[in-house]
Structure 1
Amino acid sequence: MFKKNESEKNHHNLIALESIIRTIREEEDLDFLIKKVINYLHSEFDCCLIWVCLYDRLGNKIVGKGGITPNGEISALKQKFTINNGDILEQVLTERKVIKVSDLRAEKQVGEWIKIAQTYQIQGTIFFPIHYKEKCFGIALMGSQEWGSSLESEEKALLSLIWGELGQTLQKIEKEWQQQQVKRPDEPILSLLSKLGKLTTLDRRLETVAEITHKFLQPSRTNIYWYYPNGRYFWRRASNHQVIVEWSDFKRPASGITLQDLGQFYNVLLAGQIVCIGEYDASVDSDITHRLIQQIRASSILAAPIILEDELLGFIAVEEQHNRSWQDDEKNYLQGVGQLLALTSPLSEMEDKIRQAKLDQTLTAGITRAIYGDDDWHKTLETTAEKISQRLGAKYFMLAVCNRGQFEVVYQHHSTDTQIVTSSLPPLSKEDITLLEQNSGVVGIENCLESHILGAWQEE
């Protein structure tokens, strides 16, 4: 269909082919290289439309690099084209196969290209993938004003050679560029080691890690999520943004990610593995991936666990708003940072326990003084309830006294939005009475809705 089959030019054709192959393999200027390929195709093939484009993975678009048209106007060939689900451009990119169209003007699955085809009366068209192995770098289009899109074996072999060589060269160019962009994780890790030892609180350490990590990996956002076992979810404790959820507010569902939303993501982290959701791969299944990226509002996520003695304390996540291919050095760095945070967390935990012990000592002394120094029993209860509620972050405090097997509410302390008990408490079950009589310590209930302990009082 396209080949200029002139026997007297066979020798010239071989020389031109050798020249263009050498150019493809040796030329480092990509724009100049593509221009040379287009000129070669124009001289060797009888077609009036040639277009070469590259795939922009981050923007999920096709970027035109030029070509030829019947009237010489190529501005339309250098614009960006949107890739729509199921259209021919997407099929060529994903399936890496040649697609033939007999009449481009009437083809509905070419998106914006139908207007160009109608403008230049392009009918017979062939779309070629420019790829290397499993990775597609772009698309080449060759079109004619004649109907049909057949290729002879010689044409197929020649075009396959040209686009195969170009795909291999693009792979080499991308690999060299990636090597130039390779990050050195040792520098930020050493910086973290020197800074973390000087910081006295866990929150300051987490903020420093988020800041340095964000500067090194340069994602859209960097967040550190901490696990709150009582609420069974992770709350965002540190970020490169300064909009951080305070400890007093972290029980609000909107401030964290529940285990139900994480699903398999949680299991992967618990196993000590890094989670990668990016352009080419995902460590978790598609359903979990979809829910997670909606929850975090990111297209690509790289997360590393923070594990101490088989306990998942939290995870550090770098989040990208666009599709991003995470590199091995980025994964190794983030996993190292997660391990570093795990090593420093016991120091912070010890400091927190010491501070809490001092606060508890002050609390106990305050309650003791209230009991022995205040003749007003109601005032003593009020002081005690306020201090205990403040210490535990509780919204409701109730004191019930057992009188002949019946519990009577003698005092209640509550926040403004908490309901109070207005009627007498119903009798407890024999099991609950036995539990309270035999237990001299504290009886803890993690979730009243899921526990049968003190079940008779739940509705109250």
Structure 2
Amino acid sequence: MVSLSRLLKALWAAQNSSDAISLTLAHCHQELDFDLVWVGLYDRSRHRLVTHGYRSSTSLASPLRNTINLSPGDLMEQAVVQRRPLIVADLQNEIRAGEWGQMAREYALQSAIIYPLKRQEVCFGLLVLASPRWGLTSSLAERSYLAIVTAALAEVLHRFDQDQQQQRAKRLEQPLISLVGRLAALDRVDDQLREAVQAIQQLIEPTRTRVFWFESQGNYFWQRQPPLPNLSPTPSAEPALHLPVDEMRGLFQAFANQPLVVLGDRQGALNALVSDRVMQQLQAQSSMVLPLTRGADPLGFLSVESSLPRLWEEYEKQFLIGIAQLLNLALPMAAHQEQQRHHQMDAYLTAGVVQGIHNDSDWHHALQTCFETLRDRLAIQQFLVLLHHPDRQGYELCFQGQGKRTRPAASFWPPLDAVDERLLERHPSPVVVDSLIQDLKLLAWRPPLIDLEAQAVMASNVAPGHAPAGVVVVTDGLSRQWTAAEQSLLQTLARQIGSLLNQWQLQRQIGQQRGAYAALEAGLKALHHGEATDQLESVTLQYFLDSLAASTACLILWQSGENQAQIAHLVSQDARGMIQADQPIALAHEALLQSALQAEGPLLRPINELSPTTRTWITAPGDHWMLISALRTAPRHRVMGFVAVVSATAQPWSSDQVNLFKVLTEQLAWSRRQRQLTRLLAQQRQDLEHLNWYKNRQIEETQRTLYQLIQAFSLAMGQDAGLTHHQGEYFLSQLHRLVETGQTLLDQERWQLQNHGQTIPLITLLNRLIERITPVLEQRQLWSKVHNQSHALLVGNISKFELIISEVLLAACERSPVGGRIDLWCRVLNSSWLELSITDSGQCSQALLQDLKGAPPLDLLVPSTLDQPPGRHLAICKTLLDQLGGEITFSRLEDGRTHSRLLLPLESRSNPA
């Protein structure tokens, strides 16, 4: 305590952090029994530990590394993030040791204690004590000592850190004053943003700084990319990055209460402020976000990002707030001037619409330009581009340009009448409707046009002479006569739009193919998500709901020879109950299942066409759809189930979705079969291992008994009187018993173990066990004792209980050192259970204890300590005792002894003493 008191006083008197760390290293190295003491401070910006000193009892072949990089999941990062001490038994073989594992192998270090230097929620670094001895731990007094020392050192480091931050804050004034002058001299938004971003990069040094600009028409934020030659390009810094406003709404609500929001670190805001998709697009582990505004209207936001986890300093936040305030003063005027320049460009664009459409790869922007030009020239209210959808037998809206006070158009338009379709196909000029009420043309589209409050309509085929695969529609809210010039202009633009739509359709097809591939990949990953069959089925059905936008998905199964099927799994996101899970399904009389069984692929049926028998268990609305497929594998395999999906709306699935359902259903069928076969073979293997072990042990017991009989027989024959009649009868009876035991084993347990109920006093069983292991005890000079013997009666398969306990005792004897000790502790827990604890002074490997705790192994292909004795035999005993109604666990006590704990059933009428 005196030396600790001196250390604390010396720490408070230290002039800098280096002196404080040196004092701590010297004191810990002197007071604690560790060969190496090391202190590393945490570098938040680079997510690493920087060596600030160490002490070693022996001279090192080379100096320790100056920096230790932290990787996700390693022990050092865990200690920094969680701020809790860690004890490592073997640094060399610890897979999560990271770079310290390499250093441990280089300097022959094994056990280690890792203490964080923390103050409140801030970790300043780590104190590491290492030793070449394996499994070295600290006492309670040492842990208390380390807690006091590390807390004191962290407090001193915090004090120096606060002093440094105050110095940094004083240095922030000059960069901000310099930036004010530079911003005032610039009149372009991009130039002002470039100056601000460069100032941020120079002072804070983040991974990147980006500006996102608000687009009111599209209701999104786009990445405004000023030229920054000094910044290295990153995959996320592409000009095409758009962030929807709906996914950023929570962030801007947070701006109402605070001028800066931190995302991604432990001290910052929750990532729930923005969607997961936005965080993935940003590709940042930690970021600071600040709003850019013009009065109350948002202009965009500033994003300062780090690709590694980082705790931002307070002076950095204050500097960013200052820059954001300067930009909010300078940007509005520059943005106004930029808007005027855009209007001048639009005037030039009006004269070159056709050329603009022909050369612009962004079809949406080109169509918007068309609408703006036609609106100014023709004074129209609506501009629609409809694309024919062959699967849905109608037209879908792919673009709508509209006035400020008009309604949005329907997303799907019905097919045209044959007369109107021929007009669009054969006439080079548009189909003209001067008054929608009086004209009968475009009759099928009258309802959606009336919803748009349209009175006058022009519709033009994008490819005259061909079936209308695309139609351009313009409307006006008043009845009017369309002039020839107006019709000619629309027809010219429609043909240009046709070329644009062809390119857009190709891009969309590519996108759909990519989407189908991504959906298939995600579905295959979902199929391999779980090991158990039930988990596989649940995950796959849930994926069908998500990928097909369905309301309900179910799995229909039955056993071989049964004539009724049951709904084994059901997932639904509709509270109405589309499928009745408790309704039995008669296989022979169910027309839907029989049709699906005969079909080569998935069967798509509207609900209203299903038979009354089927509607007893499918209660979905009649305008919904059902998609069902048999779980079919090889032709020689019997079908034992179906997958059925009910649509969420009256819209059927597309052919791509049906094909996706087909592929994943086939994969599900094979995956279920593979898992069922694996489970069956694993169970058979376990049963045969139990049988083989039991028979081997019985043969060994027979051999031991026979050897004892031979010795007794030889001793009797060597006497002068020879073998008496009584002795002969005894030997014969013992031989008969051995023969009967072997015959019973052959007759009743030839291929499968049997569980015979028997009872035996605990004392008797313990005496037999001690007798069995006595030769081993004498050979290894082991001392054994039974504590708390009871007269309780054990119930169960006594012969197997005896062999299991004997196996555990033999394992304890084999790992115990010569002259060691083995104790057997008996304790009656209640009227039904007896606890038998076996403690030995041997060393059982931690890997074996861990594998025994999780037996059977999770991966049979990975080498395990359970592959060879004694681990294999102990694992067999564990699983066999579980089947016999008992339990066995293995652990290590605090004093280093190995503890084997068995729970054995008691005869309920026994009266334990």
Q: Distance in 2 between matches of 1:180 and 1:283?
A: 27
**Structure-to-structure mapping, 1:242-281, within 5 angstroms:** 254-259=240-245, 262=248, 264-265=250-251, 267-269=253-255, 273-277=259-263, 279-281=265-267
Report how far residue 97 of structure 1 moved.
2.7
Q: Distance in 1 between matches of 2:208 and 2:106?
A: 45
Q: What letter corresponds to residue 81 of structure 1 in structure 2?
A: I
The 1:437–1:184 alpha-carbon spacing in structure 2 relative to 1, beyond 3 Å, is: same
Residue equivalent to 1:163 = 150
Give yes or no for the alignment of 1:312 onto 2:298: yes
Report how far residue 30 of structure 1 moved.
3.5
1:136 corresponds, among 118, 123, 136, to 123
Contact 2:35-2:57 at 8 Å conserved across structures: yes
2:455 corresponds, among 422, 429, 434, to 434
Give yes or no for the alignment of 1:223 onto 2:219: no
Q: Distance in 1 between matches of 2:87 and 2:127?
A: 12
Q: Distance in 1 between matches of 2:94 and 2:204?
A: 43
Q: Distance in 1 between matches of 2:137 and 2:146?
A: 13
Q: What letter corresponds to residue 84 of structure 2 in structure 1?
A: K
Q: Distance in 2 between matches of 1:334 and 1:135?
A: 22
Contact 2:209-2:305 at 8 Å conserved across structures: yes
Residue equivalent to 1:232 = 219
Residue equivalent to 2:287 = 301
Q: Deviations over 1:184-216 (max 9, x none)?
A: 555455445445445444444444444445455
Residue equivalent to 1:241 = 228
The 1:240–1:289 alpha-carbon spacing in structure 2 relative to 1, beyond 3 Å, is: farther
1:325 corresponds, among 311, 318, 335, to 311
The 1:229–1:61 alpha-carbon spacing in structure 2 relative to 1, beyond 3 Å, is: same
Q: What letter corresponds to residue 311 of structure 1 in structure 2?
A: D
Q: Distance in 1 between matches of 2:100 and 2:55?
A: 14
**Structure-to-structure mapping, 1:14-413, within 5 angstroms:** 14=2, 16-69=3-56, 71-73=58-60, 75=62, 77-104=64-91, 107-114=94-101, 116-117=103-104, 122=109, 124-146=111-133, 148-182=135-169, 186-239=173-226, 241=228, 254-259=240-245, 262=248, 264-265=250-251, 267-269=253-255, 273-277=259-263, 279-285=265-271, 288=274, 291-292=277-278, 294-348=280-334, 350-352=336-338, 394=366, 397=370
Contact 1:259-1:266 at 8 Å conserved across structures: no
The 1:423–1:92 alpha-carbon spacing in structure 2 relative to 1, beyond 3 Å, is: farther
Report how far residue 125 of structure 1 moved.
3.6
Secondary structure of the corresponding residue to residue 224 of structure 2: strand
Secondary structure of the corresponding residue to residue 217 of structure 2: coil
Secondary structure of the corresponding residue to residue 164 of structure 2: helix
Secondary structure of the corresponding residue to residue 77 of structure 1: coil
Number of residues of Structure 1 aligned to a counterpart in Structure 2 = 388
Q: Look at both structures and tell me which one has the larger radius of gyration over its CA atoms.
A: 2
Q: Distance in 1 between matches of 2:134 and 2:162?
A: 40
Q: Which runs of 5+ in 2 are unaligned?
A: 232-237, 379-423, 432-441, 457-474, 481-500, 503-913
Q: Distance in 2 between matches of 1:130 and 1:277?
A: 24
Secondary structure of the corresponding residue to residue 142 of structure 2: helix
Q: Deviations over 1:55-91 (max 9, x none)?
A: 2323322333443445321735344334344443233
Q: Distance in 2 between matches of 1:241 and 1:333?
A: 20
Q: Distance in 2 between matches of 1:264 and 1:387?
A: 41
Q: TM (normalized to structure 2)?
A: 0.36
Residue equivalent to 2:551 = none
Q: Deviations over 1:221-279 (max 9, x none)?
A: 333322112233223335361599xxxxxxx9725434466464455457774232364
Report how far residue 350 of structure 1 moved.
4.7
Q: TM (normalized to structure 1)?
A: 0.66
Q: Distance in 2 between matches of 1:269 and 1:122?
A: 51
Q: Distance in 2 between matches of 1:189 and 1:36?
A: 40
Residue equivalent to 2:832 = none
Q: What letter corresponds to residue 268 of structure 2 in structure 1?
A: A
Secondary structure of the corresponding residue to residue 59 of structure 2: coil
Q: Deviations over 1:381-426 (max 9, x none)?
A: xx68569989x97467597999xxxxxxxxxxxxxxxxxx976556
Contact 1:277-1:289 at 8 Å conserved across structures: no
The 1:179–1:148 alpha-carbon spacing in structure 2 relative to 1, beyond 3 Å, is: same
Q: What letter corresponds to residue 10 of structure 2 in structure 1?
A: T
Q: What letter corresponds to residue 232 of structure 1 in structure 2?
A: N
Q: Distance in 1 between matches of 2:97 and 2:239?
A: 45
The 1:296–1:182 alpha-carbon spacing in structure 2 relative to 1, beyond 3 Å, is: same
The 1:36–1:434 alpha-carbon spacing in structure 2 relative to 1, beyond 3 Å, is: same
Q: Deviations over 1:159-195 (max 9, x none)?
A: 3322221111121222222222225555455445445
Q: Deviations over 1:302-338 (max 9, x none)?
A: 2211223432121223334444433444434434443
Secondary structure of the corresponding residue to residue 42 of structure 1: helix
Q: What letter corresponds to residue 303 of structure 1 in structure 2?
A: V
Q: Distance in 2 between matches of 1:37 and 1:138?
A: 13
Contact 1:65-1:77 at 8 Å conserved across structures: no
Q: What letter corresponds to residue 35 of structure 1 in structure 2?
A: S
The 1:90–1:337 alpha-carbon spacing in structure 2 relative to 1, beyond 3 Å, is: closer
Identity %: 25
Q: Distance in 1 between matches of 2:354 and 2:107?
A: 82
Q: Distance in 2 between matches of 1:104 and 1:55?
A: 20
Secondary structure of the corresponding residue to residue 64 of structure 2: helix
Q: Deviations over 1:74-127 (max 9, x none)?
A: 735344334344443233323333333445555444344445545666555432
Q: Distance in 2 between matches of 1:30 and 1:243?
A: 34
Contact 1:301-1:320 at 8 Å conserved across structures: yes
Contact 1:217-1:330 at 8 Å conserved across structures: yes
Report how far residue 136 of structure 1 moved.
1.9
Q: Distance in 2 between matches of 1:106 and 1:202?
A: 57
Contact 1:235-1:256 at 8 Å conserved across structures: yes
RMSD of aligned Cα (Å): 4.6
Which of structures 1 and 2 has the larger relative contact order (alpha carbons within 8 angstroms, sep 6+)? Answer: 1
